[in-house]
Amino acid sequence: MRTEAYHSFESKLFYFDDEIDLIEVIRLGILNGDLTDNASQFVLKNIDPKKHLHIKRRKNSDGSRELLANHLRQTVYSSYVKDIYEEVTQYLKTILEKAAENGFDSGRLIGEHSTKLDAKVVLSAGTWQDVARLITDSVFQSLEAEKSTLKLLEKVSTKLALGVDENLITAALPYLEVRHFLVHVDGKIPA
């Protein structure tokens, strides 16, 4: 069954994929000269020096255009990896919340991640939905505190009996490692 949370998650991923396609179209347009005006002093067509204060300083040359296009592509790809990670973790958190709201086995949901909540906070939450969110936020923070995305994926899969194929998780590992380098060491791989 396609839930609202899944639909939202999937839509965001489609937008990310569209952006990857778009950057390739833009890059090819730049490299093929579609955005070049040899009579201009500016690196690309349609640059308004009053609006485009930074890019106006670039030389009108193929090398400068290629550098701009490739840097933009690298930036979009880096963002893609980071954003997908954020969306996956948000989706997993939403699944936990919905499971808690709908009376999922609390022993399995909490598991070894016991949580303590202030009674005032629980009572002021207002609704069962808000209480479930408090609990799942705490459980999810415990999972994230382990600082292992692999364990996070495995434990959420186990808690909710999702039956995620181990091969799928293993196939995702290189992307998780790339994300780690992009986020924590500015994309630099240690020597």
In the chain, where the domains are located:
4-184
The three state secondary structure string of the chain is: CCCHHHHHHHHHHHHHHHHHHHHHHHHHHHHCCCCCCCCCCCCCCCCCCCCCCCHHHCCCCHHHHHHHHHHHHHHHHHHHHHHHHHHHHHHHHHHHHHHHHCCCCHHHHHCCCCCCCCHHHHHHHCCHHHHHHHHHHHHHHHHHHCCCHHHHHHHHHHHCCCCCCHHHHHHHHHHHHHHHHHHHCCCCCCC
pTM of the model: 0.74
Residues 23 and 73: beta-carbon distance below 8 Å: yes
Confidence at residue 30, expressed as pLDDT on a 0 to 100 scale:
94
Residue 165 CB neighbour total at 10 angstroms: 10
State whether residue 64 is helix, strand or coil: helix
Confidence at residue 26, expressed as pLDDT on a 0 to 100 scale:
95
Per-residue pLDDT of 58-106, as tens digits, reads 999 999 999 999 999 999 998 888 888 888 888 888 888 888 777 776 6
Confidence at residue 118, expressed as pLDDT on a 0 to 100 scale:
82
Per-residue pLDDT of 154-164, as tens digits, reads 778 877 778 88
Confidence at residue 188, expressed as pLDDT on a 0 to 100 scale:
62
Using pLDDT thresholds of 50, 70 and 90, give the confidence band for residue 14: very high
